[in-house]
Amino acid sequence: MSSRDQAIETLRAIPDPVLPDLPFEVVPFRPEHAEGLARLFLTIYGEAYPIDAYYIPDAIRAEQERGNVCSMVAVLEDGSIAGHMALYHSSAPFKGLLECGMGMIHPHYRSSFMLFFLFKELIEGPAKEVPALYGEAVCDTIATQHLSSLYGFMETGIELDLLPDKGEGRVSCLYQSRESGTVQRIVHEPAGLEDALAFFMDGYEPKRVTVSADAGLVAPATDATVEYFEFAGVLRVSVVRPGMDFMDYVRAMEEDASRSRKGCVNIQWFLNLGGPECGAAAEILLGLGCFPVGFIPRWFDDDGLLLQKLTVEPEWERLQLYSDRAKGILNRLRGFYPK
């Protein structure tokens, strides 16, 4: 039996300790919260959460001690854990860009303001020290989208069909960003995507300086990081610098996704807009059926452009979106989607 299975078996032997209608306090995570937090993950996700560590109290403590995760928890009067939200480093090559997420509220408290207070304490506390933040708000509810907009996060794209639904189908995520500072970064615009980028970046602060991405591919080999999220069927490729082999590189990734990764339904390509060769890379991806879905501030420290390739047409009608801007992005993506 794996350590994950053992941990889940131990957690299942403990009756759910969370009682309804108790006062709560939002506080930074402390080591003694680990058991209650692991039990909350089991309550919310069952055995489906893809990261083993969050079922294992010692692993939760280790992640917090290493600084990989910075959590706020909602502690009830009797000491049990009923809510959670965190800052953490996820997929971005730039270590200064943190994701704000893992928001969970016990079913007994979903009609309370617990999520608001968790978000507030996180953003007004440890997030002040972070140069750039982003969130991937699920589009089967508007709660997190609304909260993020209240605290200065701006919608810059939609990751279509990113996650499997609990029942059938897939759920998209609204990409929302915010950053500190006033530096005007340079964005290289690939030919043919100028209007798309202008739309995604409209109103985002600090404003960017745009120049043409008109250089060819000169590096001998593509420099990229690759992640495969088996539970979601998503292959995520962050292209730090495309090389002269980029066409072959993309085809090899697609072949691997279709042959070796049988559950892969979504390929995400993050292109580094900090270098002029991104234009040549974008031309290749567009020619192979990818389409733009968002502007990704600070993904590489330089900004990124996200393109996707899906095996089936997105479930457009399932998206629940809070803001007019998000709805406008969705309408644009319908137009970008290859017919």
Rounded Cα distance, 40 and 57, in Å: 11
Tell me: the pLDDT tens digits for 194-211? 999 999 999 999 999 999
User: Backbone phi, then psi, for 138, in 5-degree steps?
Assistant: -65, 145
Fold match between domain 3-130 and domain 186-314: yes
pLDDT at residue number 167: 66
pLDDT (mean) for 296-309: 98
Strands, E assignment, the chain: 24-28, 69-76, 81-88, 97-105, 132-138, 154-164, 170-179, 186-189, 209-212, 223-229, 234-241, 266-272, 291-300, 302-310
Hey, where are the domains in the chain? 3-130, 186-314
Instruction: Indicate the CATH number for domain 3-130.
Output: 3.40.630.30
Enter the pTM of the model: 0.93
* Percent of the chain scoring above 70 in pLDDT: 99
Q: Are strands 69-76 and 291-300 parallel, antiparallel or unpaired?
A: unpaired
pLDDT at residue number 302: 97
CATH of 186-314, one of 3.30.2010, 1.10.3470, 3.40.630, 3.10.50: 3.40.630
What are the tokens at 175? 């990409």
**Cβ neighbourhood burial of 315 (10 Å; 0-12, 13-18, 19+):** middle
